[in-house]
A and B are shown apart, each in its own frame.
Chain A
Amino acid sequence: ILNVEQSPQSLHVQEGDSTNFTCSFPSSNFYALHWYRWETAKSPEALFVMTLNGDEKKKGQISATLNTKEGYSYLYIKGSQPEDSATYLCAFGPKETSGSRLTFGEGTQLTVNP
């Protein structure tokens, strides 16, 4: 059983605050790590696919890092806005299935107050 854990479970911040979340996953059998943003009543939106140890990706004010040796990834949001309020999910793709069967964490629910 693959264990993908995210912390914190929920987070309330003020507009303008920077924030970060953690995703931990099995360090062995690694193929890819995905980050998604899921707003209520919408489709989960793909943010990043990360594959190489030390990877750092950025999209606007959101960035992510990857450490495959120790099995964790961080997602950072710089200067949070109310529209960043969503659930952020990470998903681990194992090598044995070439990453096709994703195992998701439970998500971090972010609320940004104006």
Chain B
Amino acid sequence: DTGVSQNPRHKITKRGQNVTFRCDPISEHNRLYWYRQTLGQGPEFLTYFQNEAQLEKSRLLSDRFSAERPKGSFSTLEIQRTEQGDSAMYLCASGPWAGSYNEQFFGPGTRLTVL
């Protein structure tokens, strides 16, 4: 399977715990994006990387959130001191850098439930 993969698919945690999600993009894609989707809403942009550089972060990405893409391949999204409001589907997407109008290919998401 050469699509975008995300792990884990589901995560249940207690409030105050830290969680980390992983995204493996399509191998030839330079850009990697994180979005969050809550019930009844469309996905909301969180951040994106071009290779290993984090080029943009949304105001939604509070200090408790950090994303990395150390070697320009896979990416991790960490949430520290989780809150119940962090419960959502976290989606990762990847895309080629240029010439595609930023077409983005999504993974299946990680569903986080904070108890």
Contact = CB atoms under 8 A, between A and B. Distances in A.
Q: With a 10 A CB-CB cut-off, give which of A89, A97, A100, A104 has the most chain B CB atoms.
A: A100
A97 B109 CA distance: 24
A101 B102 CA distance: 9
Interface residues of A, number: 27
A93 B102 contact: yes
A71 interface: no
Nearest to A6: B42
A56 interface: no
Interface string B31-68: 10101000011111100100000011010000000000
Given A43-B3, A43-B4, A102 B104 contact: yes
A59 interface: no
Task: From A31, A99, A102, A107, name the one whose CB has the most chain B CB atoms within 10 angstroms.
Answer: A102
Given A43-B105, A51-B101, A99-B101, 6 more contacts: A31-B102, A42-B108, A49-B103, A101-B56, A102-B45, A104-B44
Interface of B: 3-4, 31, 33, 35, 40-45, 48, 55-56, 58, 91, 100-109
